[in-house]
Structure 1
Amino acid sequence: MIKINMRSHSICLVPLVFCLLSVGANTTKVNAQTIYPFDVVYDTEVTITPIPSTDVSKAFVSGFNSDAPYGLSSFSSINNYSRIDPNTGNLIFVQDATKFGLQGLPIGRDEFFGSGDDKLFSKSSATAAFDFINRKLVGSGTITITGGAGRFSGATGIFNLSEIESLDVNPTALLRGQAFLSGSFQIPQQIPEPRTAATLFGICVIGISSILRRRYL
């Protein structure tokens, strides 16, 4: 009669299970991030157009700097909506017109780009004060990076924004000035470790074979 020692087999399975779990854990991809500092000054042009029968205007902003980091020499910000805050006299800029009670208007967006495929996508909000003595419009706000293209796919980050434009007697005239951006964005990366996993698996197999050989010889 042949007797099978179930306890012995159970003991032998323990290192096998432990090794397989270890291999599985080491094949998990490691999350990492590459951080890109972003400090730049763009020459800007701003067009503000009143929306008929409302106290809201639509603003379009474009900027350019041939020496901007990472080849992102241009940016555009479209479908911004502005209204004067009656409590402060400042302009408030948002990219969702429903915040001003207007329905059916497109949501605004920003884009940083250059001559290649690399891009950053973002949303923004800002306020601007009238400096009538120096005939300037002085603004500040936040740009939130929501994605990208090319090597910046999946980008996230925050830029602080300050902006100065010269005022014109004509409120709908093109405003020229500069936008100062500072902050950073990051790109997620996944780093696989296949060689480490294969090495651990090989060690497991050799070790388990040795255990089984000693038990059954």
Structure 2
Amino acid sequence: MTLRSHSICLVPLIFSLVSVGASPAKAITQTIYPFDVVYNTEVTLTPIPSTNVSKAFVSGFNSDAPYGLTNFLSINNYSRIDPNTGKLVFFQDPAKFGLQGLPSGRDEFFGSGDDKLFGSSSATASFDFINRKLVGSGTITITGGAGRFSDATGIFNFSEIESLEQDPTAPLKGQAFLSGSFQTPQKTPEPRTNATLFGICVIGIGLMLRRPYLEASG
């Protein structure tokens, strides 16, 4: 009778051990990275034949950019003049201009290592003919990354200035000013209790099995 009662009491302990050890809980936290940088940029605008749309390619570089993200690329940006405002509007979805069969654009920040940020952008720009400048602004939405920035999300606001007093057949050179932040998820495992519970269980089983033996020998 004594051994049977001990066996019954042992069942909840074993069940608890299996339940806790089967799927340890995860606590998700966010690591936030401020991002303020100025890239020296080059912008190339290429007209798309038989349309009023141009394709823009933007590259940027800053050897001192934070987190080693020294290079910036923005490719397949589609642009045309908004007749209502007289401003250039930029989108990375060609369908917004009624264009089909063209690749969507993307943004990428990278350096010499494996760390990268990926995103998409939209912008507007206007011609300042008095000061001979092209002045633009917009946002970059971070949608992913690589290396330590895997699954990154965030928003960068930017402004950009290019001088119009340059060779019209060459890329426009200027600067892009970016400000914002991005974050990455960090999964932190809860303290594991498997080893502790297992030790308690082993000790408990030993005591329960030994007690009937001592009672019988006594």
TM-score by length of 1: 0.82
1:144-189 C-alpha deviation (Å, 9 max, x unpaired): 1122222222222221111112224876652221111111222223
**Aligned position for 2:34:** 37
Aligned residue in 2 for 1:17: 15
The answer for the alignment partner of 1:61 in structure 2 is: 58
**Mean CA deviation greater in 67-76 or 193-202:** 193-202
CA contact (8 A) 2:20 2:193 kept: no
May I ask how many residue pairs the two structures share in their alignment? 213
Distance 1:214 1:91 in 2: 87
Q: Which amino acid aligns with 2:31?
A: T
Given that 1:48 and 1:172 are in contact with CA atoms closer than 8 Å, whether structure 2 keeps it comes out as no
Tell me whether 77-86 or 29-38 shows the greater mean CA deviation: 29-38
SS of alignment partner, residue 99 of structure 1: helix
How high is the sequence identity, in percent, across the aligned residues?
A: 73
SS state at 1:36 partner: strand
* Aligned counterparts, 1:118-197, within 5 A: 118-168=115-165, 173-193=170-190, 195-197=192-194
Judge conservation of contact 2:32–2:182 (CA < 8 Å) in 1.
yes
- Give the equivalent residue in structure 2 for 1:90: 87
Which runs of no fewer than 5 residues in structure 2 stay unpaired?
A: none
Name the CA distance, whole Å, in 2 between partners of 1:37 and 1:180.
Answer: 14
Query: What secondary structure does 1:103 align onto?
Result: coil
- Give the SS at the match of 1:22: helix
Q: What 5-or-longer segments of structure 1 have no aligned partner? A: none
Given that residues 16 and 208 in structure 1 are in contact (C-alpha distance below 8 angstroms), is that contact kept between their aligned partners in structure 2?
no
TM-score by length of 2: 0.82
Query: Helix, strand or coil for the counterpart of 1:115?
Result: coil
Letter aligned with residue 20 of structure 1: V
Deviations 1:78-124 (A, max 9, x none): 11000111111111101111110010111111111112222211111
In structure 2, the CA distance between the partners of 1:83 and 1:11, relative to structure 1 (3 Å rule), is: same
Counterpart Cα distance in 2 of 1:107 and 1:57? 14
Say if 1:44 and 1:62, in contact at 8 Å, map to a contact too: yes
Query: In 2 relative to 1, CA 57–212 (structure 1 residues): closer, same or farther, beyond 3 Å?
Result: farther
Tell me the SS of whatever aligns to 2:95.
helix
Q: 1:75 to 1:169 in 2, by over 3 A?
A: closer
Counterpart residue type for residue 14 of structure 1: P
Equivalent residues of 1:23, 1:201 under 8 A apart: no
| 2-structure distance, mates of 1:11, 1:196 | 20
Equivalent position of 1:47 in the other structure: 44
Deviation at 1:13, TM superposition (A): 2.6
- RMSD over aligned Cα, in angstroms? 2.9
